[in-house]
Amino acid sequence: MKIVQVQTQAEAGGAQRISDMLGDGLRARGHDVRIVFLYRKTAVYDQDPFADFILDAPPKGLAGQVRAVIGLVRYLRKTRPEAVLSFQHYGNLFGTLGARLAGVRTIIANQSGAPQRRGVRGLLTQIDKVMGMVGLYHANVVNSGWTAAQFGGFPRTYRQRIRRIDHGVAAPAGDDDKAAARTAFGMPRDGWIAVSSGRLAASKNQVALVGALARIPDIHLAIAGTGPEREALLTSAARLGVSGRLHLVGEVPPERIFTFLAAGDAYVFSSLAETFGLAAVEAAIAGLPLVASDLDVLREVLTTTDGAPAALFVRPDVDGIAGGLAEILATPALAADLAAAGRQLRDQYSPAAMCAAYEALLLFGRLGTAAMPSITSSDPERLSV
């Protein structure tokens, strides 16, 4: 099957990581898969042989967005895919409309955020609700039980298209040397380092990490990612006198993320809102003890099937994060238990199971919603379709 994945922006983010794993897995199953970005944001996909871009830079204003949509429709008419997988708010909107205008037979949307009531996101939620109710896309994938529950109040005609497929999360191929990893990313070779990763944005709440750093002397904090909050983090670090212990390493491409994680003694995740928390699960699978925001969805995904937590859950504020890091630092047995539980998650979030679940949706997509299997990637009996 010829498949195109539609993403909003080209950068090293969680939704893009899922596309990468899906593309690799579906190609291994014999499908022809490409990914197209509405615009190029960073250089991370410039050398990807399966990636294309509609615009070379973020669109400016309504005219730029119209250019992106027209360009996407032309791209899909030229490539003539049998199926489109869309991701993120704008990717779902433009990907679904573009696929319809291009005559694509099977369209699968992915919900990367909970429904919103206000602002632009609220408007996009209402548009998405209408698209799902009238069947502009054939299936609507959510990535956790918590996320599925957020759509419980939506009309039945919308909910009947929802399918849960938990994210697959890659595991490290081997053990990276800690000293070499620290050297590679310009970190101090000695001392205790907490690491974190994600877009530098207000919703990721990294400013609380900087505040926690000021509460715990001698430790260092390294954050992988880019985004609009970078200067604010540097300003906060300077004000608190911790600039020498804060390391912003910039964007880390997917193939180097486990090397970055190997540099750390613990992983800290301060996000204020998630639908899965891919970066946190990735760190847990890599064997790092976690301090994570006490969010219902993170408690769900960072708990093993036998009920063992893979993270110490704390309030996502300076006091909570500082307290959690201090507890892990002072309690090696706790750190070891959390790390052991995290490693067990690799079987729960198998990329192969995720790809099989998507393949089932794609193959049944032509037959209509009623024929689509009610599958989850953690339910193997429903994957042998």
Q: Which CATH number does the domain housing residue 244 bear?
A: 3.40.50.2000
Do 344 and 369 reside in the same domain of the chain? no
195-213 pLDDT, tens digit each: 999 999 999 999 999 999 9
Do 130 and 80 reside in the same domain of the chain? yes
Residue 66 domain flag? yes
Residue 222's H or E segment, with its range, is strand 220-224
Domain hosting 331: range is 178-348
Residue 384 has pLDDT above 90, yes or no: no
Q: Rounded to an integer, what distance in angstroms lies between the CA atom of residue 162 and that of residue 110?
A: 9
Residue 250 has pLDDT above 80, yes or no: yes
Residue 380 has pLDDT above 50, yes or no: no
CA atoms within 13 A on the CB side of 316: 19
Do 274 and 183 reside in the same domain of the chain? yes
Residue 19 domain flag? yes
Do 162 and 206 reside in the same domain of the chain? no
Do 45 and 156 reside in the same domain of the chain? yes
Residue 213 domain flag? yes
If one counts the domains in the chain, the total is 2
Do 11 and 156 reside in the same domain of the chain? yes
pTM comes to 0.89
Do 207 and 72 reside in the same domain of the chain? no
Quick one: pLDDT at residue 366? 53
171-192 pLDDT, tens digit each: 998 888 999 999 999 999 999 9
- In percent, the amount of the chain with pLDDT more than 90 equals 88
Residue 173 domain flag? no
* Residue 339, C-beta contacts closer than 8 angstroms, at least 6 positions apart: 287, 288, 289
Asked if 265 and 220 touch (Cβ cutoff 8 Å), the reply is no
Do 243 and 222 reside in the same domain of the chain? yes
Do 340 and 359 reside in the same domain of the chain? no
Asked if 293 and 272 touch (Cβ cutoff 8 Å), the reply is yes
**Cα dist from 110 to 6, 54, 150, 182, 214, whole Å:** 10, 20, 14, 36, 39
Residue 277 domain flag? yes
Do 210 and 327 reside in the same domain of the chain? yes
Average confidence (pLDDT) over 286-309: 97
Do 144 and 271 reside in the same domain of the chain? no
Residue 262 domain flag? yes
108-122 pLDDT, tens digit each: 999 988 898 899 989
Residue 372 pLDDT grade (very low, low, confident, very high; cuts 50, 70, 90):
low
Largest CA distance in the chain: 61
